[in-house]
């Protein structure tokens, strides 16, 4: 099964994508993780991606499309995959469709996790990330045992630049302008399913599986 996870930044796409991928036994492919890995390692792609991410902007298509195409062509994706953070624009979606159709395949479902903007700003401004190992926390929903300190490695936790309220709102504005049209795109293909992302995580997960017929 080939799935796309849709929803605004902070809607819970990553969390749910990982759980659904584990349930379906397919790879969870997150472009965000790829970008952050490149940023941490100081690659050219990482430096370029960081400039856009810190400003709350989308990473341009040319930095992502080829990367994703190569990833989904790998052997572990033969039984399906879940894309988290891609596509983000209609041109990216069209590029993905072109890659899949060349192999006689298509996107089976686009899962839209629907959460209001105000709830997302509150969620994301509470996030904290470890400067060393990358573990993530939330001051309300998943706090570390000791405030400001990573449970895993003991390093400092920070509020990432792209989680600050003003940056989050910029990201939401960009999302509504550029990414939300994907909801219509996949609806026209008959692939769209929408779930209420304001529910508790377990209920969101159960709702997604129900929509997928699992």
- The residues assigned a catalytic role are 13, 88, 127, 160, 171
In angstroms, the CA 45 to CA 64 distance is 10
Q: What is the dihedral of CA 31, 50, 48, 102, to 10 degrees?
A: 10
In angstroms, the CA 122 to CA 100 distance is 37
DSSP string, 20-80: HHHHHT--EEEHHHHHHHHHHTT-HHHHHHHHHHHTT-PPPGGGTHHHHHHHHTSGGGTT-
In angstroms, the CA 131 to CA 154 distance is 10
Q: What is the CA radius of gyration of the chain?
A: 17
Nearest to 10 by CA among 126, 111, 88, 109: 126
Q: In what order do the strands lie in the sheet with 127-130?
A: 136-138, 127-130, 157-158
Residue 160 φ/ψ region, left for φ over 0, alpha for ψ in the -120 to 50 degree band, beta for the rest: beta
């Amino acid at each position: 099964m080939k799935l796309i996870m849709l929803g605004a930044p902070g809607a819970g796409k990553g969390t749910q994508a990982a759980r659904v991928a584990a349930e379906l036994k397919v790879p969870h492919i997150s472009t965000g993780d790829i970008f952050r890995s490149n940023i941490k390692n100081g690659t050219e792609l990482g430096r370029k991606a960081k400039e856009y991410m810190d400003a709350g902007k989308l990473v341009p298509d040319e930095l992502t499309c080829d990367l994703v195409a190569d990833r989904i062509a790998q052997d572990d994706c033969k039984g399906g995959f879940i894309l988290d953070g891609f596509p983000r624009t209609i041109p990216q979606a069209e590029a993905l469709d072109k890659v899949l159709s060349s192999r006689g395949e298509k996107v089976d479902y686009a899962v839209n996790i629907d959460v209001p903007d105000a709830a997302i700003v509150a969620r994301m401004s509470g996030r904290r990330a470890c400067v060393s190992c990358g573990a993530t926390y939330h001051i309300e929903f998943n706090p570390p045992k000791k405030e400001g300190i990573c449970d895993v490695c003991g390093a400092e936790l920070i509020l990432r630049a792209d989680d600050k309220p003003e940056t989050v709102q910029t990201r939401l504005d960009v999302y509504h302008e550029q990414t939300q049209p994907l909801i219509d795109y996949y609806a026209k293909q008959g692939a769209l399913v929408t779930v209420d992302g304001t529910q508790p995580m377990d209920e969101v997960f159960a709702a997604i599986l129900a929509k997928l017929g699992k």
